[in-house]
Amino acid sequence: MTSTSIDVASKVEAPSIAPSRGYWGPVFRRLSRDPVALIAGIILLCILAMALFSPWLAPMDPYKTSMINRLQPIGTPGHWLGTDELGRDMLSRLIYGARLSLLIGVMPIVNAFVIGSAIGIVAGFVGGKTNTVCMRIIDVFYAFPAVLLAIALAGALGAGIVNSLFSLTVVFIPPIARVAESVTTQVRSVDYIEAARASGAGSLKIIRCHVLGNVLSPIFVYATSLVSVSMILASGLSFLGLGARPPMPEWGLMLNTLRDAIYVNPWITILPGVMIFTVSICFNTLSDGLRSAMDVKL
C-alpha cells in the first residue's frame, strides 16, 4: 500500500546546498525542464483552483436533489456529467468535492510533516537515550500496515472528518519522523556544526541556523511522496463510511453512495474515482520530479 520509500528510507545524503535566496531558483528551473512534472503541477493547480472557486465554477447547487432526474447518463443536456442517485448534478458535486477531498488528503501530511519533523530532528540532534526512546516508540507503529492502522484508529474513534484527519496524521508521523531522524543524525556530525558549537552557539541556534536548512528539503520531498497515499487512504476511509458524512460532496463518499447504481448507470459511478486517481498520480509525478530537481536521494 504505502510506497517502498517508507521502508528504504534510511540512506539519505545530506544536500550540500543551503536554502539561501539562490536555492529555489535553480530548483524551479530544473523542474520546469521536466515536462511531465510540469504538467502534473499544472493539473494540480487547476484542481486547487476548482476547490477554491467552486461556488463560481459549479453550474448547479451540489446539494439540490431531484427525484425525477436520478442517474441521468453522461452527456445529458443541463447535466453534462449526468446526475447521481439522488438526482444531484455530478459535475457540480465533483467540483465541490475537490474542497473536502483535498483537505482531508493533504492536511494529514501537513500535520505529520510538522510533528514528525519536530520529533525526528530533536531525536536525531539530541541523540543518545532520547533518540532510542523516540525511535523505539515509532517502531511500534511500523508493526501495523498503514491501511490497517488508519482503519483501526478511525474505526475505534468513530466516523467523522476530524477522526479521519487524526487517524491519518498518526499514520504518517512515524515514517516522516524516521526520515527526519536519519537525515539529522547525518547532518549532526558534519564539521561546520562542530565549528558552530565550538564558537559558542547554543543548541537551538544550531538547529535553527544550520540543521533546519539542511534537513527540511529532504523531509519535504519525502512528505510530498506520501500525499498520494494519503489522498487514497482519506477517500478510502470515506468510502468505508468512516470519513465524510452524507450529503457532503467528497469523492470517496460519492464512490460509496454510487456503488448501488453500478447496474443502472455504471459509467457515472466511476467519475469520482477518476478525480482521486488524477490527483494521486499528479502528486506522485510531481514528487518524483521534485526529488530529482532538488537532488534528494531517499
Partner 1 sequence: MNTYFLKRILYVIPITLAVSFFCFSLVHLSPGDPMDAVVSPDAPSEVVAMVQRAYGFDRPLPEQFGLWVSRAVQGDLGMSAANGRAVTTEVFGALKNTLLLAIAASMIGFSLGCTFGVLAGYYQGSLLDRLVTGFAVGGVSVPHYWLGMLLVIIFSVELNWLPSSGAGPGSSSDWNFEWSYLRHLILPAVTLSVIPMGVVTRTVRAMVADVLAHEFVEALRAKGLAERRIFLHVIKNVAPTALAVMGLQLGYLLGGSILVETVFSWPGTGLLLNNAIFQRDLPILQGTILILALFFVALNLMVDLIQARLDPRIQRG
Q: Which residues bind partner 1 (CB under 8 A)?
A: 1-4, 7-8, 136, 139-140, 142-148, 151-153, 155-158, 228, 232, 235-236, 239-242, 252, 255, 259, 262-263, 266-267, 269-270, 272-273, 276-277, 280-281, 283-285, 288
CB of 177 or CB of 276, closer to partner 1: 276
CB of 122 or CB of 151, closer to partner 1: 151
Cα–Cα dist 288/17, whole Å: 19
Shortest separation between residue 48's beta carbon and partner 1, angstroms: 18
Shortest separation between residue 242's beta carbon and partner 1, angstroms: 7
CB of 68 or CB of 140, closer to partner 1: 140
CB of 188 or CB of 291, closer to partner 1: 291
Q: What are φ and ψ of residue 49, in 5° steps?
A: -60, -40
CB of 92 or CB of 238, closer to partner 1: 238
CB of 57 or CB of 103, closer to partner 1: 103
User: DSSP of 112-141, one letter per residue?
Assistant: HHHHHHHHHHHHHHH-HHHHHHHHHHHHHH
Which parts of the chain fold into alpha helices (H)? 21-32, 35-52, 54-57, 90-126, 128-141, 146-157, 161-188, 191-198, 203-206, 212-240, 251-258, 266-269, 271-293
Shortest separation between residue 133's beta carbon and partner 1, angstroms: 12
Shortest separation between residue 190's beta carbon and partner 1, angstroms: 22
Shortest separation between residue 29's beta carbon and partner 1, angstroms: 22
Cβ atoms 77, 111 nearer than 8 A? no
Shortest separation between residue 20's beta carbon and partner 1, angstroms: 31
Shortest separation between residue 272's beta carbon and partner 1, angstroms: 8
CB of 138 or CB of 193, closer to partner 1: 138
Task: Return the bridge partners of 79, or none.
Answer: 76
Q: How far is CA 202 from the centre of its chain?
A: 34
Cβ atoms 42, 67 nearer than 8 A? no
Cell numbers given for 262: 453500478
User: DSSP of 67-109, one letter per residue?
Assistant: GGGTTPPTTBTTBTT-B-TTS-BHHHHHHHHHHHHHHHHHHHH
Task: Return the bridge partners of 83, or none.
Answer: 89
Helices 271-293 and 212-240: crossing angle in degrees, nearest 10, is: 170
Cα–Cα dist 182/5, whole Å: 13
